[in-house]
Amino acid sequence: MQPPRIVLRSPGWLAEFTSFIMRGNVVDLAVGIIIGAAFTGIVGSLVKDIFTPLIGLLLGGIDFTNIFITLKGPALPTLEAAKTAGAVTINVGVFLNAVIQFVIVGFAVFWMVKLLSRLYRRKEPEAAPVLPTASEVLLTEIRDLLAVRTETTRLV
């Protein structure tokens, strides 16, 4: 007696997953995520190295990264010193930097989408005039004949 043959089948979802991954949209999405990550790095530097110092200067020399609340540990003048000392802090300035970065990214994406939609806007071809159907033409003729007939009977 021979042992039963074992047949291994791939799960049904595997073929579906493979066709999903091979779609062009997924590849476009992956490229978008990679570019988005690089764009986030650029915007992060823009916020941290350019906008935050300028805003801080306008507000009297405030460094946002050093706006923090010490919950436990020594109260030190800078966030870096507090972290080195092991203090537990609420980093309000770091949060403000993240909010500024988010607003800048949103603004940049808004203008990028606006520009791309303007570039790719297709003009709709002018619709050809809709010709009346044969029955509509016939009904129009009947209406006109009835109107003429009604007018002539009124005159008589």
pLDDT (tens digit per residue) in 29-58: 788 888 888 877 887 788 778 887 887 788
Per-residue confidence (pLDDT) for residue 147, from 0 to 100: 87
Tell me the backbone φ, ψ of residue 72, rounded to 5 degrees: -150, 130
AA letter at 56: G
Give the pTM.
0.50
Decide which of 143 and 108 is more confident.
143
pLDDT (tens digit per residue) in 87-133: 999 999 889 888 887 887 778 778 877 887 887 776 666 777 888 89
Segment 66-79 shows an average pLDDT of: 90
Instruction: For each of the domains in the chain, give its residue range(s) and CATH number, in order of start.
Output: 12-121 (1.10.1200.120)
Q: What count of other Cβ atoms lies within 10 Å of the Cβ of residue 74?
A: 10
Strand, helix or coil for residue 62: coil
User: How many residues would you count in the chain?
Assistant: 156
Per-residue confidence (pLDDT) for residue 4, from 0 to 100: 75
Tell me the backbone φ, ψ of residue 9, rounded to 5 degrees: -115, 145
